[in-house]
Structure 1
Amino acid sequence: MSYLVLARKYRPPTFKEVVGQEHVTVPLKNALKSGKIAHAYLFTGTRGVGKTTVARILAKALNCESSDKPVVEPCNKCTSCVQIAQGSSMDVLEIDGASYTSVDNIREIRDTLTYRPARGRYRIYIIDEVHMLSTAAFNALLKMLEEPPPHVIFIFATTEPHRIPKTVLSRVQRYDFKTIPIELIADALKKIVKKEKLDASEDVIWLVARKGQGSLRDAISYMDQVVAAGHTKDLKKAALILGAFDRNDLLDMVEAVIRRDARAALDVFYRLRTQSYDVRQFLWELLDIFRNLVVAKLTERPEDHVIGTKEEVERIRSLVKGCSIEELKELYRQANTSTSEVLYSLDPLLSLEMLVVRLASRQPAVALEELFERLNRIREKLSSAQPAGPMLPVSGTERSLFDAPQPEAEPAPKASTKGGGDVCGELLRHLKAVHPDVYSFVENLKWDRAGDRGPLVVYAPKEMLGLLRRSADVLNRAAEKVAGAGARVEIREEAEAPAQAQPKRSREGRPEKDQLVRQALDIFDADIVDIKRRKR
């Protein structure tokens, strides 16, 4: 006898053995029990979730000979049930919609509707992939769906219900099959392994279940492939055969990402790349792990919500111990928002590699509440602190950053009036009002004047001499404004200043000595990296 693949051998023969579709099987059983049987059904859902299987079970239940009326569960022993299971029943016709696409094919079906069932109660037409029918074929089908003979029942199955005309959808009872949860697929695989008396590790079973991505038939086919290769206990070889990813390697990479170790993350990524080139599968697995990390951080019993082996759950529990929930959510967000960028790039593998680098090189996440707390602390300290020296003028836009009132700038320092009265002070006040940009870097310098009619002298550090000389015209015009025509400003190096009056250092030269700067550094736990003059 030829080998029968596991997917066909373990196809469910009754409603109760259908996995993960109770929202479909229970209403159908109730309809069979009450006798309220519709003349047309539509089963929708992705591949391998049980649409055709349930259609056959329904056909067997309608024509089962163990009772004089339809039964809730077929006996699978009578002639009718056996023939339907074997595909040889004269009363149940399975039609491939991809082959019967023309209007002529539908007319052939219409011509057979008047014939009574050969053996059972109903003549049942199962049309798979019904969305493949042409528009003319659907139009020909409409009349049959409106007024079918009482002994005819249609069962349609499709993976693309949006391609079926609304006029057809309004004439059928629709049942949507959902993808099967991974844990249910794993349980079904364990039962098959036990019945087949195979020695398979739990890691391999979960690998196959994830590879199925919600399709039990696909998962059973993958298990058949692993069994044929003889790798039911070797996780790495099984992953290589299926083109899947070793879950332990994925967790190693995620651990490196959490540690922000980009080099280690890339090393594991290159190892994973040798196992499979399925970028979509990689992203799906990565998002699943990040989701599990978030759930494990939020729940007291991660094993109730995290899908995986006991070892995987324990490892995820240990990974989240040193992470904040904001950081884990940010990892999921970055990976999720990058899926389109990766999948539709010119080189998806290269984009995937850069995604891993970006995740492992991310900046630490700070909770929004903590940021607001820091800003409030700055506001309080700014409103209560006394500035160490004259404050730079602040524009209205900058004042609005914090609603707290800013300290007013102190009056300009009075210059030395050696024979020059208060001319230097008046000059500084004039610059502050008319040229605040120039005032900002001369306000704390040493000013002097020799006699009542001598030039005004400003002493500056060597590195500021060039800047001041470029502003000499502004300084001279200001001097003429406050001291009369002919007044001039001389610019000298501070080393030439009289010993009894050393220049006052500006806060810009020693910012770490400023009280507000020290408070800001303390609040943000920061260091001064660079000093730049504020643009006016």
Structure 2
Amino acid sequence: MESPLALYRRYRPETFAEVIGQEHVTEPLRAALAGNRVNHAYLFSGPRGCGKTTSARILARSLNCEQAPVADPCGECESCRDLARGGPGSIDVIEIDAASHGGVDDARDLREKAFFAPVKSRYKVYIIDEAHMVTTQGFNALLKLVEEPPPHLRFIFATTEPDKVIPTIRSRTHHYPFRLIPPRLLSSYLSELCEQEGVAIEPTALPLVVRAGAGSARDTLSVLDQLLGGAGSDGVTYQLASGLLGYTPDTLLDDVVDAFAAGDGAAVFGVVDKVIETGQDPRRFTEDLLRRLRDLVIVSAVPDAPATGLIDVSHDQGERLVAQSARFGRAELTRAADLVAAGLTEMRGATAPRLLLELICARVLLPAADHGTDGVLARLDRLERRMAIAGPASSESAPAPVSAAAPPPTPAPVAPAERDPAQEPSAPEPVLSSEPPAVVPPEPEEPAAAAPAPTPAAAPTPAAAPAPTGSLSLVDVRRLWPDVIAATQRKRRVTWIHLTQNSQVVGFDGTTLTLGFNNAGARGSFESGSAEVLQEAIREVVGAEWRVEAILDPGASAGTSPPPDPAASPPPAPEHDSVPPEPEPEPEPPTPRRPRMADIQADAEAEPPHDPDEAVDLDDADVDAESGAELLARELGAQVIEEIPHR
């Protein structure tokens, strides 16, 4: 049993109507054939596999058709059958490979035979393939014949390098430049061929085949023929095409692009390591990454590029490209593409391609180290993204404090000032319990009548800081976290080491950032001055005041892990003692400011730790005077229904 012919031979066009992607050539040729205005010499030039030799055969077939002049051969006469696919050929149509017959002796032999009349056809047609291989002496030997041929003689030169054909020959021919076939046209053509062959092909695999063919119909059909030969019962799948053609899977490209967007260096270098461990070529990965960045640049400028066909990708991949481009700025994308393109050029002939790939990734991850225009624009893009995240929250939350703060301020200071046990503070008490303890002490100093006056001026002040971060989710915080870590590196290296090696973000509620540490020693060292550095970095990067809380278990909920060291003992004492409006008789717990961690540790080393509750008087008059209902309302935010007296 004979093996079937290759696809590019089985589906070679027999008419100009079947030639795809070359309408700018086929239509004028059909018009010339139909009007009997055919020239004596033609020059077909263009990339390989785009239809030059095939078009030359179709032209010769049309010239010798019994129904000529005609735009397309009839396919029924003897000459058309001889020159059809699989036909025996015609003695009057001579194909010469100039790569092996381009010398002056070959040209002289052709010149001697050309004057003989055709055997049974109207014209004797010479198709000289790879015409640029003809020597200068050979062209000079043919010059007179090409300039003034006998009436029965026609020349068709086909070449990929028309500049190497001497000008005297080019000036005596009609030049038709062929082009590469557009990807979308090739994709639809391949789909039709697969239907005719009865083999299924996944839509995501078609772009890989078209890309491997590089616009050449013959090369594309050769790639498809290889995939069809190795296809199983499922047909040509994406996994088969990507593995056989050596392209980087989309999952790896998605991972590295997402890591670039988040500034996650560990994920980026993890992808590089996976590329090496799976045996892929770093150069091919860099080329595929550059192509992905190019697609993202186009999508960033034209968001509907995948839908309109400006980028030849599947529907699912188009949605991923739109989502990924939204996480970058245009300056960031162009800078990354420039860096990858420059690195790809450096990889040519490099002995350590992995090292160069890692250096490329490091440059993309560090726009702050680039003091040029591209680096500055990339940093501006990051700032604009942060403002876009924080902007809607500030506009939405700005009117809320004004409208919500207008009714409560009047009853809020009255309830703690009167301290009347008979009066049930049902409405104002939940408001007081929801406020932080630091807000309670200044309120009793203001009179009740003056409460509405400072309310409009004081309301925006506490709301200004948390307003931009009120709508930030944990995902947004983690997205901004690499920039915060970079800011701490410039301030204190110890803090940067703790944040990169010993901790991770485990929770965020809008005002409190919870960090989980993997050991108690790292947590204690962080609280010894690094928390203030982190807060300064947060103010610099995010522009907000966040309270930083360190816990031991990274998986624990925020605020549930009790502090193990004595340095955390002062905060609970003001929490209990600052709730009543009257100052406590004990001088130790209330302090005008929160002591610094360094001072606390110095005191802890100077004297042994003491019990913070030993100075608490169980017979405190203020505690006894406070009813259970007030304690429930203050501590739990509960509202106790007044008891109905029974007579």
Band of TM-score, shorter chain: 0.5 to 0.7
Opposite residue 261 of structure 2, the aligned amino acid is: I
**How far 1:106 moved relative to its partner?**
1.1
How do 1:470-481 residues align onto structure 2 when only pairs under 5 Å count? none
Cα 1:165/1:338, change in 2 over 3 Å: farther
Q: Of the candidates 337, 340, 359, which is equivalent to residue 342 of structure 2?
A: 337
Q: What residue is the counterpart of 1:134 in the other structure?
A: 135
Equivalents in 2 of 1:128, 1:282: separation in Å? 37
SS in 1 for 2:222: helix
Q: What residue is the counterpart of 1:117 in the other structure?
A: 118
SS in 1 for 2:205: helix
Q: Of the candidates 241, 253, 258, which is equivalent to residue 255 of structure 1?
A: 258
Cα 1:37/1:266, change in 2 over 3 Å: farther
How do 1:51-70 residues align onto structure 2 when only pairs under 5 Å count? 51-65=52-66, 67=67, 69-70=68-69
Is the contact between residue 49 and residue 216 of structure 2 (CA under 8 Å) also seen in structure 1?
Answer: yes
Equivalents in 2 of 1:275, 1:13: separation in Å? 44
**How far 1:245 moved relative to its partner?**
3.2
Equivalents in 2 of 1:367, 1:46: separation in Å? 40
Opposite residue 142 of structure 1, the aligned amino acid is: L
**How far 1:197 moved relative to its partner?**
0.8
Q: Check if 1:244 corresponds to 2:238.
A: no
Cα 1:210/1:248, change in 2 over 3 Å: farther
SS in 2 for 1:343: coil
Q: Check if 1:367 corresponds to 2:377.
A: yes
Q: Of the candidates 278, 293, 296, which is equivalent to residue 293 of structure 1?
A: 296
Is the contact between residue 262 and residue 361 of structure 1 (CA under 8 Å) also seen in structure 2?
Answer: no
Q: Runs of 5+ in structure 1 lacking a partner?
A: 375-517, 526-536
Deviations 1:241-289 (A, max 9, x none): 223333443343333333333443343345445465383x555533332
**How far 1:142 moved relative to its partner?**
1.2
Opposite residue 220 of structure 1, the aligned amino acid is: L
Equivalents in 1 of 2:197, 2:345: separation in Å? 42
Q: Of the candidates 315, 318, 322, which is equivalent to residue 320 of structure 2?
A: 315
Is the contact between residue 260 and residue 362 of structure 1 (CA under 8 Å) also seen in structure 2?
Answer: no
Equivalents in 1 of 2:64, 2:52: separation in Å? 19
Opposite residue 109 of structure 1, the aligned amino acid is: L
Q: What residue is the counterpart of 2:161 in the other structure?
A: 160
Equivalents in 1 of 2:287, 2:8: separation in Å? 25
Equivalents in 2 of 1:167, 1:90: separation in Å? 29
More deviation, 165-174/183-192: 165-174
Equivalents in 2 of 1:236, 1:272: separation in Å? 16
Equivalents in 2 of 1:79, 1:277: separation in Å? 53
What TM-score, normalized by structure 1, do the two folds share? 0.64
Equivalents in 2 of 1:173, 1:278: separation in Å? 46
Cα 1:258/1:33, change in 2 over 3 Å: farther
Equivalents in 1 of 2:354, 2:63: separation in Å? 52
Q: What residue is the counterpart of 1:37 in the other structure?
A: 38
Equivalents in 1 of 2:104, 2:258: separation in Å? 59
Q: What residue is the counterpart of 1:324 in the other structure?
A: 329
SS in 2 for 1:31: helix
Cα 1:360/1:121, change in 2 over 3 Å: farther
How do 1:30-109 residues align onto structure 2 when only pairs under 5 Å count? 30-65=31-66, 67=67, 69-85=68-84, 86=87, 88-109=89-110
Equivalents in 2 of 1:357, 1:147: separation in Å? 66
Q: What residue is the counterpart of 2:281 in the other structure?
A: 277
Is the contact between residue 343 and residue 356 of structure 2 (CA under 8 Å) also seen in structure 1?
Answer: no
**How far 1:362 moved relative to its partner?**
4.0
Opposite residue 367 of structure 1, the aligned amino acid is: L
Q: Runs of 5+ in structure 2 lacking a partner?
A: 369-373, 385-535, 544-647
Opposite residue 28 of structure 2, the aligned amino acid is: P
**How far 1:348 moved relative to its partner?**
4.8
SS in 2 for 1:202: coil
Q: CA RMSD in A?
A: 3.0
Deviations 1:169-206 (A, max 9, x none): 22211122111122221111101000011022112222
More deviation, 327-336/45-54: 327-336
Cα 1:117/1:346, change in 2 over 3 Å: same
Equivalents in 2 of 1:362, 1:278: separation in Å? 23
More deviation, 69-78/267-276: 267-276
Q: Check if 1:172 corresponds to 2:177.
A: no
Is the contact between residue 261 and residue 361 of structure 1 (CA under 8 Å) also seen in structure 2?
Answer: no
